[in-house]
Amino acid sequence: MRGKLVVGILALLAAVGHGGESEQIAILESEAGVAAQAAACRELREFGTAAAVPALAPLLERAELAHDARMALEAIPGSEASEALQQALARTEGLLRAGLLDSLGERREAAAVAAVADCLADQDLPVVTSAALALGKIGTEQAARQLEQAYGEAVGERRVAIGDGWLGAACQLFQQGRQEQAAAIYEHLARPEESRLLRQAALAGVVATAGDQRLARIREFLGSDDPLLRHAAAQHLPALELAELQAVTRDGAELPEAAQRVVLTAIRLRGEPALAPLAIQAVGSESPAIARAAIAAVAQLAGAAGLDVLLPLAKHSEPLADDAWQALAALRGPEVDSGLITALQTETQTEHQVRLIRTLDARDAAASVPALIRLATDSDGQVQVAAIGALSRMAREEHVPAAVELLLTLPRGGLRDAVEKGVMLALEPIPQADQRTAAVLAGVDLDADAQQIEFLPLLGRIGGDRALELVQTALEHPRAEMYEAGVRALANWPNARVVTQLERLAREARENHQRIWALRALIRVSTLPGELADPQKLELLARAMPLATRDEERVLAIQRAAAVRTVEALQFVRPYLEDDRLAEPASQTVVELAHHTELREAHADAFQSALRRVLQRTDDTDLANRARRYLDALDDSE
């Protein structure tokens, strides 16, 4: 009573604060339109009192306003609103009646049990469903008895709907401390002859209301051949106290296979290291399904202790090897990395070495990089490839000197490129290019031409003043290998700083292949974002085209023009639509430029002409569809 009084006072204060419950009531009682009356109902939902009930009650029978009126009455405290909702039940049907029942259920109106229960005999299934759910929410003993009686007489869908409400009543009774009454309902609905949906929910309730026998019931259900009983037990496993879970699962091997998998899944989800022994014990099961579930649990729980279990399985248990390797990658704790590194250093079989390397890579175990460098130096074949691939992703700044030494042992090719990229990634945290260069040169003898030749291309990837100084010296060197290393370095340059040198090399380099390297690099760096102004980019591309002796470079220049979002870029590319060898890449660039709406619309005539020509020249269906779409957009905007 005191709670209702407080709610009523708060509602009254809210009404005063809004300055107009009476104004909203007046709207409802006037000839105002539906929209205005609906808005008034919504206002009254926020601050309405019993005074608004007479104006709201008639609207419960008007389909266009019933929902808003019902929501307002549902929120208004006091018996007046409840009586209005109950009285409307007799004057409505179908969805209107179902809505009223929903509101009475939300209000938990114990006084409405009889009126709501009468609707359990309605011919309309949605009304029966709403009535049953409302009684379940009300959750008094009287409501439960009404549902029990109706359930005994119902069949088919009506029986399931009423049973669902009866389950709700059991839940309410349990929350109110009426455990015996709730347990009786759950036991009834859990009988084998009941519907599967009701039975599944009821079985969970049977366990929840078992009191001192709860653990025994869980154990009993886990050992059952009935999957619904096992599922009900499984629902409760994650919420058990650690000691309870250990007690329930202590003799897990005695449980049926399906139940053992349920238990192992539950302890895996709990993530309690104290449960690891249960999982470790189950790894030895003769059932592959149980062993796999146990391996997954070990990965989450066992930490370094899991190594002794998982490594032998990974190496020697063919049916479970992949599961064991995956679990090794997931094991938690820094000690795991140390254990895997030790295993790698003592392993002699190539297959196992490769799998250990991949596992360390998956764990991002940077501490393994020194061991990987040693393997990459001393091994070849699969082990070397795996080691270089892993260290290229995991190397850190402190590993750079050793990685540089490794580079000296590798011939040019894919493996060396991978190490170089790894060095670049490791150097990324160093802010200044010259500092990155110094980190590389710390392990290089600059007085030895051979080492300069080896490392100039890598320094070119870094850029900076010191690298450029060394490159310029190399380009003046009479030795062909040193000169070529300088050209490679400039061709690797990360920005447009060296466009002048690249253009000169594209014209004047000693060898044709060197001129091609320089030209391709010039085309690449000239259009990098933020490096040069758009006119400069296009000017460089225009100067590059006459230097090209192959279509490959001409195509590259045309494609890179798409990065310059100006009408001048369109004008640069447009003539190449007439060249049979270059029409396709030119079409692609025109369409890419047309993708940018503001550019396309600002120069509609130029793009319309170019796009129409693209449609005549391209053989690419998808590209033609895009061109047609952009052309249609331009036509529609005119």
Which amino acid makes up residue 300? Q
The two three-digit tokens of residue 382, written as one number: 């699969």
- Burial class of residue 220 (count of CB atoms within 10 Å of its CB; 0-12, 13-18, 19+): middle
Tell me which of 233 and 471 has the higher pLDDT.
Answer: 471
For helices 534-547 and 512-526, what crossing angle results, to 10°?
160
Sorted by where each begins, the domain ranges of the chain are 565-638
**Helix (H) and strand (E) counts in the chain:** 40, 0
Contact present, 569 and 593 (Cβ < 8 Å): yes
Distance from C-alpha of 471 to C-alpha of 465, rounded to nearest angstrom: 10
pLDDT, one tens digit per residue, over 471-518 is: 999 999 999 999 999 999 999 999 999 999 999 999 999 999 999 999
- Alpha helix segments (H runs only) across 154-195: 156-175, 179-189
Distance from C-alpha of 631 to C-alpha of 609, rounded to nearest angstrom: 9
User: Confidence band (pLDDT; 50, 70, 90) for 255?
Assistant: confident
Residues found in the chain: 638
Distance from C-alpha of 149 to C-alpha of 536, rounded to nearest angstrom: 87
The two three-digit tokens of residue 493, written as one number: 């340059």
Nearest to 525 by CA among 550, 552, 492: 492
Distance from C-alpha of 487 to C-alpha of 525, rounded to nearest angstrom: 15
Taking the alpha carbons at both ends of the chain, their separation in whole angstroms is: 71
User: Confidence band (pLDDT; 50, 70, 90) for 180?
Assistant: very high
Distance from C-alpha of 208 to C-alpha of 302, rounded to nearest angstrom: 31
Distance from C-alpha of 305 to C-alpha of 537, rounded to nearest angstrom: 60
Distance from C-alpha of 325 to C-alpha of 359, rounded to nearest angstrom: 7
Most confident of 3-12, 403-412, 528-537: 528-537
pLDDT, one tens digit per residue, over 348-388 is: 999 999 999 999 999 999 999 999 999 998 877 899 999 99
Instruction: For residue 238, give every residue at least 6 positions away whose Cβ sits within 8 Å of its Cβ, in sequence order, or none.
Output: 266, 269, 270
pLDDT, one tens digit per residue, over 85-122 is: 999 999 999 999 999 999 999 999 999 999 999 999 99
Nearest to 324 by CA among 348, 287, 291: 291
Tell me which of 252 and 569 has the higher pLDDT.
Answer: 569
pLDDT, one tens digit per residue, over 114-150 is: 999 999 999 999 999 999 999 999 999 999 999 999 9
Report CA Rg, the chain.
39
For helices 141-153 and 125-138, what crossing angle results, to 10°?
150
pLDDT, one tens digit per residue, over 568-578 is: 999 999 999 99
The two three-digit tokens of residue 556, written as one number: 């590259």
User: Confidence band (pLDDT; 50, 70, 90) for 6?
Assistant: very low
User: Confidence band (pLDDT; 50, 70, 90) for 543?
Assistant: very high
Q: How many Cα atoms sit within 13 Å of 567 on the Cβ side?
A: 12
- Alpha helix segments (H runs only) across 237-287: 242-249, 257-270, 276-283
CA angle 616, 617, 622 (to 5 degrees): 90
Instruction: Return the C-alpha torsion angle 155, 158, 161, 162, nearest 10.
Output: -70
Nearest to 248 by CA among 257, 258, 238: 238
**Least trusted range by pLDDT, from 244-258, 285-299, 556-570:** 244-258
Tell me the average pLDDT across 600-618. 95
Q: What is the residue-averaged pLDDT of the chain?
A: 90
Q: How many other β-carbons are positioned within 10 Å of the β-carbon of residue 412?
A: 10
pLDDT of res. 614: 96
- Burial class of residue 33 (count of CB atoms within 10 Å of its CB; 0-12, 13-18, 19+): exposed
User: Confidence band (pLDDT; 50, 70, 90) for 251?
Assistant: low
pLDDT of res. 30: 93
The two three-digit tokens of residue 422, written as one number: 């790894």
pLDDT of res. 569: 96
Distance from C-alpha of 328 to C-alpha of 321, rounded to nearest angstrom: 11
pLDDT of res. 11: 44
Distance from C-alpha of 216 to C-alpha of 219, rounded to nearest angstrom: 5
Distance from C-alpha of 219 to C-alpha of 225, rounded to nearest angstrom: 12
User: Confidence band (pLDDT; 50, 70, 90) for 9?
Assistant: very low
Instruction: For residue 428, give every residue at least 6 positions away whose Cβ sits within 8 Å of its Cβ, in sequence order, or none.
Output: none
User: Confidence band (pLDDT; 50, 70, 90) for 8?
Assistant: very low
Q: How many other β-carbons are positioned within 10 Å of the β-carbon of residue 601?
A: 12
pLDDT of res. 407: 83
User: Distances in Å between the alpha carbon of 41 and those of 16, 54, 347, 411?
Assistant: 16, 12, 77, 81
pLDDT at 19 over 50: no
Q: What is the DSSP letter of 49?
A: -
The two three-digit tokens of residue 62, written as one number: 């008007």
Distance from C-alpha of 598 to C-alpha of 607, rounded to nearest angstrom: 12
User: Confidence band (pLDDT; 50, 70, 90) for 253?
Assistant: low
Instruction: For residue 540, give every residue at least 6 positions away whose Cβ sits within 8 Å of its Cβ, in sequence order, or none.
Output: 499, 503, 522, 523, 526, 532
Q: How many other β-carbons are positioned within 10 Å of the β-carbon of residue 283?
A: 25
Tell me the average pLDDT across 145-171. 94
Spell out a b/e string for 233-270, using b for 16 or more CB atoms within 10 Å of the CB, else e. bbbbbeebeeeebbebbeebeebeebbbbbbbbbbbeb
pLDDT of res. 477: 93
pTM for the full model? 0.64
pLDDT at 214 over 60: yes
Instruction: Return the C-alpha torsion angle 256, 258, 263, 264, nearest 10.
Output: 120
Q: What is the DSSP letter of 239?
A: G
Helix (H) or strand (E) holding 194: none
Nearest to 488 by CA among 516, 528, 529, 524: 516
Distance from C-alpha of 206 to C-alpha of 232, rounded to nearest angstrom: 9
Tell me the average pLDDT across 238-254. 75
Q: Is 347 helix (H, G, I), strand (E, B) or coil?
A: coil
Distance from C-alpha of 209 to C-alpha of 358, rounded to nearest angstrom: 50
